[in-house]
């Protein structure tokens, strides 16, 4: 089973991207992806976030075997607005995780607004995915270390493994904290191989970020030297566990 844990849908107000439903269907058809975890593009207002969450929820309702949702409102929204939208997404729409985009929303994970996200996620029993790599200082994976230590029962997903430039920091953080996981988008194959061997394949997940990255990301997993068993974990089993998807157990 192939699960894409990092995909977007909607109009991005920060990076001027437009992520379409058709791109997702083309990706799944052309590359054999079974399930995609969809999150909104980067927007600023509560109204924009609600519109994108609703669009994702409707796609998930129509095609529950192929799509599940992840919430991504701006963490700098007022407390009641942010918590209300997150609770709506998790409790009413059935989303399976929360995203913090440190760069797009200018969020320090260790700040007041950042920590609010992690506390709420643990209360609701869902993982938090955090953008890392481009956008320092907030996108440094080491920013997650104190939070991982304070909330050892919360799965935290390091998106992009620091995007190569902060790969060393990703390794450092994951080496010290077992509740840190990662999606492997924009990450070198040799790093994935080495990290999987040392830290365990159950901590790394396949993703695309952009649908047209899918072929490259799949080839990376299949050619970097992983065993078939390790590939199976990276391509799907780890996501099933971490996001409590059908066929998986709790991480």
pLDDT the model gives residue 139: 98
For the structural domain made of 3-242, what CATH number should be given? Answer: 3.20.20.140
Distance in angstroms (rounded) separating the CA atoms of residues 214 and 210: 7
pLDDT the model gives residue 246: 81
Burial profile 66-85: b = 16 or more Cβ within 10 angstroms, e = fewer: bbbbbbbbbbebeeeebbeb
pLDDT the model gives residue 247: 63
Which of 91, 23, 83, 25 has its CA nearest to residue 49? 83
Mean pLDDT, consecutive 10-residue stretches, the chain (251 aa), reads: 98 94 98 98 97 98 98 98 99 99 97 98 99 96 98 99 98 99 98 98 99 98 98 99 77 44
Q: Tell which phi-psi region holds residue 110, choosing left (phi > 0), alpha (psi between -120 and 50) or beta.
A: alpha
Distance in angstroms (rounded) separating the CA atoms of residues 50 and 62: 18
pLDDT the model gives residue 159: 99
Burial profile 3-31: b = 16 or more Cβ within 10 angstroms, e = fewer: bbbbbbbbbbeeeeeebeeebbeebbeeb
pTM of the model: 0.96
CA 226 to chain CA mean position, Å: 22
Helices (H), the chain: 21-31, 46-62, 79-87, 112-124, 145-150, 167-176, 189-199, 214-223, 228-232, 238-242
Which of 159, 155, 126 has its CA nearest to residue 141? 159
Distance in angstroms (rounded) separating the CA atoms of residues 44 and 244: 29
pLDDT the model gives residue 132: 99
**CA distances, 52 to each of 39, 60, 85 (Å):** 8, 12, 12
Q: Are 161 and 188 in contact (CB under 8 A)?
A: no
């Amino acid at each position: 089973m192939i699960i894409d844990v990092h995909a977007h849908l909607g109009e991005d107000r920060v990076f001027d991207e437009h992520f379409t439903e058709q791109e997702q269907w083309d990706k799944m058809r052309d590359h054999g992806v079974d399930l995609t975890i969809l999150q909104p593009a980067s927007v600023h207002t509560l109204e924009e976030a609600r519109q994108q969450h609703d669009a994702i929820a409707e796609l998930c309702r129509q095609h529950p075997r192929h799509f599940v949702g992840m919430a991504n409102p701006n963490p700098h929204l007022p407390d009641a607005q942010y918590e209300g939208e997150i609770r709506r997404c998790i409790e009413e729409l059935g989303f399976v995780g929360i995203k913090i985009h440190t760069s797009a929303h200018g969020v320090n994970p260790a700040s007041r607004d950042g920590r609010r996200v992690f506390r709420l996620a643990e209360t609701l029993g869902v993982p938090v995915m955090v953008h890392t790599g481009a956008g320092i200082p907030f996108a440094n994976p080491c920013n997650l270390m104190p939070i991982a230590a304070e909330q050892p029962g919360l799965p935290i997903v390091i998106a992009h493994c620091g995007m190569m430039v902060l790969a060393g920091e990703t390794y450092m953080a994951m080496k010290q904290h077992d509740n840190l996981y990662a999606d492997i988008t924009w990450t070198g194959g040799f790093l994935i191989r080495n990290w999987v061997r040392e830290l365990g394949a159950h901590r790394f997940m396949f993703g695309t970020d952009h649908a047209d990255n899918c072929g490259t990301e799949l080839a990376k997993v299949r050619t970097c030297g992983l065993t078939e068993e390790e590939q199976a974990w990276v391509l799907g089993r780890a996501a099933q566990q971490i996001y409590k998807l059908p066929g998986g157990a709790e991480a």
